[in-house]
Chains A and B, each alone.
Chain A
Amino acid sequence: MTAILAIALLSGLFGLLLGYSAIRFKVEGDPVADQVESLLPQTQCGQCGYPGCRPYAEAVARGEEEINRCVPGGEATVRSLADLLGRDPVPLEVEEKPPAVAVIDEQACIGCTLCLQACPVDAIVGAAKQLHGIIAAECTGCELCLPPCPVDCIHMVPIGADISRWRWPYPVERKAA
Chain B
Amino acid sequence: MSHSAPPLHSRRRIWTFHGGLHLPDEKALSNGLPIETIPLPPRLVIPLSQHIGAPARPCVEVGERVQKGQLIGEPDGYVSAAVHASSSGTIVAIEPRPVLHPSGLSAPCVVIDTDGDETWAALPQPLTDYVHLDPVVVRERVRWAGVVGLGGASFPTGVKLNPGPDRRLKTLIINGAECEPYITCDDRLMRERPARILEGVRILSHLVRAEQVLIGIEDNKAAAIAAMVQALADSDLQEMAAVVPIPTLYPSGGERQLIRVLTGLEVPTQGLPAQIGILCQNVGTAAAVGDAVIRGRPLVSRVVTVTGRSVATPRNLEVPIGTPVSALIAHCGGYRRLPRKLVCGGPMMGFELFDAEVPITKAANCVLALSPSEAPDPGPALACIRCGRCAEVCPVRLLPQQLYWYARAKDLDRAQEYNLFDCIECGCCAAVCPSHIPLVQYYRYAKTEVWTREQERRKAEQARQRHEARLVRLERQEQERLAKLRKKKDSLGGAQPGSEDAKRAAIDAARQRAAAKRSAAPKGQAKDAGDSLAAESEPRIKEPM
Question: Could you list which residues of chain A lie within 8 angstroms of chain B, going by C-beta atoms?
Answer: 37, 40-44, 52-53, 120-123, 138, 140, 161-163, 165-171, 173-177
Q: A41-B460, A163-B99 are in contact. Are A170 and B445 (CB under 8 A)?
A: yes
**Contact between B381 and A120, CB atoms less than 8 A apart:** no
**Contact between A173 and B380, CB atoms less than 8 A apart:** yes
Contacts of A52 in B (CB 8 A): 467
Chain B, residue nearest A122 (CB): B470
**Contact between B462 and A138, CB atoms less than 8 A apart:** yes
Rounded to whole Å, the gap between the CB of A25 and the closest CB of chain B is 27
**Contact between B99 and A121, CB atoms less than 8 A apart:** no
Residue B418 CB within 8 A of the other chain: no
Chain B, residue nearest A140 (CB): B463
Given contacts A120-B470, A122-B473, A171-B445, 7 further A-B contacts (CB under 8 A): A42-B463, A44-B467, A122-B466, A123-B466, A166-B105, A167-B451, A170-B410
Of B102, B380, B381, B460, which contacts A168 at CB under 8 A?
B102
- Interface stretch (choices B138-146, B321-329, B436-444, B504-512): B436-444
Q: Is the interface of B mostly helix, strand, loop or mixed?
A: helix
In the complex, per-residue mask of B413-455: 1 if CB is within 8 Å of any chain A CB, else 0 = 0000000000000000000000000100110110111011001
Contacts of A170 in B (CB 8 A): 410, 445
Contacts of A121 in B (CB 8 A): 463, 466-467, 470
Residue B456 CB within 8 A of the other chain: yes
**Contact between B448 and A122, CB atoms less than 8 A apart:** no
Q: A162-B105, A163-B103 are in contact. Are A177 and B466 (CB under 8 A)?
A: no
In angstroms, Cα B414 to Cα A123, docked, is 36
**Contact between B456 and A168, CB atoms less than 8 A apart:** no
Rounded to whole Å, the gap between the CB of A9 and the closest CB of chain B is 48
Contacts of B466 in A (CB 8 A): 121-123, 138
Rounded to whole Å, the gap between the CB of B12 and the closest CB of chain A is 39
Q: A122-B466, A168-B447 are in contact. Are A42 and B460 (CB under 8 A)?
A: yes
In angstroms, Cα B459 to Cα A165, docked, is 13
In angstroms, Cα B469 to Cα A138, docked, is 13
Contacts of A161 in B (CB 8 A): 103, 105
Question: Could you list which residues of chain B lie within 8 angstroms of chain A, going by C-beta atoms?
Answer: 49, 99, 101-103, 105-107, 379-382, 410, 438, 441-442, 444-445, 447-449, 451-452, 455-456, 459-464, 466-467, 469-470, 473
Of A40, A44, A122, A166, which contacts B103 at CB under 8 A?
A166
Chain B, residue nearest A142 (CB): B463
Q: A44-B467, A120-B470 are in contact. Are A163 and B107 (CB under 8 A)?
A: yes
In angstroms, Cα B104 to Cα A161, docked, is 11
Of A37, A123, A167, A177, which contacts B380 at CB under 8 A?
A177
**Contact between B461 and A42, CB atoms less than 8 A apart:** yes
Of A41, A162, A173, which contacts B381 at CB under 8 A?
A173
**Contact between B105 and A169, CB atoms less than 8 A apart:** no
In angstroms, Cα B442 to Cα A43, docked, is 30
In angstroms, Cα B451 to Cα A163, docked, is 13
In angstroms, Cα B460 to Cα A140, docked, is 8
Contacts of A168 in B (CB 8 A): 102, 441, 444-445, 447-448
Of B438, B451, B462, which contacts A171 at CB under 8 A?
B438
In angstroms, Cα B451 to Cα A176, docked, is 32
Rounded to whole Å, the gap between the CB of B466 and the closest CB of chain A is 4
Rounded to whole Å, the gap between the CB of A126 and the closest CB of chain B is 15
**Contact between B452 and A167, CB atoms less than 8 A apart:** yes
Contacts of A166 in B (CB 8 A): 101, 103, 105, 448
In angstroms, Cα B449 to Cα A139, docked, is 22
Contacts of B459 in A (CB 8 A): 42, 140
Q: A171-B445, A173-B380, A177-B380 are in contact. Are A163 and B464 (CB under 8 A)?
A: no
Contacts of B452 in A (CB 8 A): 165, 167
In angstroms, Cα B508 to Cα A34, docked, is 68
Chain A, residue nearest B451 (CB): A167
Contacts of B442 in A (CB 8 A): 171
In angstroms, Cα B461 to Cα A73, docked, is 14
Chain A, residue nearest B468 (CB): A54
Q: A43-B463, A120-B470 are in contact. Are A175 and B380 (CB under 8 A)?
A: yes
Contacts of B461 in A (CB 8 A): 42
Rounded to whole Å, the gap between the CB of A169 and the closest CB of chain B is 7
Contacts of B463 in A (CB 8 A): 41-44, 121, 138, 140
In angstroms, Cα B449 to Cα A166, docked, is 10
Q: A120-B470, A163-B49, A176-B382 are in contact. Are A53 and B102 (CB under 8 A)?
A: no
Rounded to whole Å, the gap between the CB of B100 and the closest CB of chain A is 11
Q: A40-B460, A41-B456, A122-B466 are in contact. Are A163 and B105 (CB under 8 A)?
A: yes
Contacts of B105 in A (CB 8 A): 161-163, 166
In angstroms, Cα B438 to Cα A122, docked, is 45
Chain B, residue nearest A37 (CB): B464
In angstroms, Cα B456 to Cα A41, docked, is 8
In angstroms, Cα B378 to Cα A171, docked, is 14
Contacts of B455 in A (CB 8 A): 165
Which of A40, A42, A173, A174 has its CB near the most chain B CB atoms (within 10 A)?
A42
**Contact between B103 and A176, CB atoms less than 8 A apart:** no
A-B contact pairs, 22 of them (CB 8 A): A42-B467, A44-B467, A53-B464, A121-B466, A122-B473, A138-B463, A161-B103, A163-B101, A163-B105, A163-B107, A165-B455, A166-B105, A166-B448, A168-B102, A168-B445, A169-B445, A170-B410, A171-B442, A176-B379, A176-B380, A176-B382, A177-B380
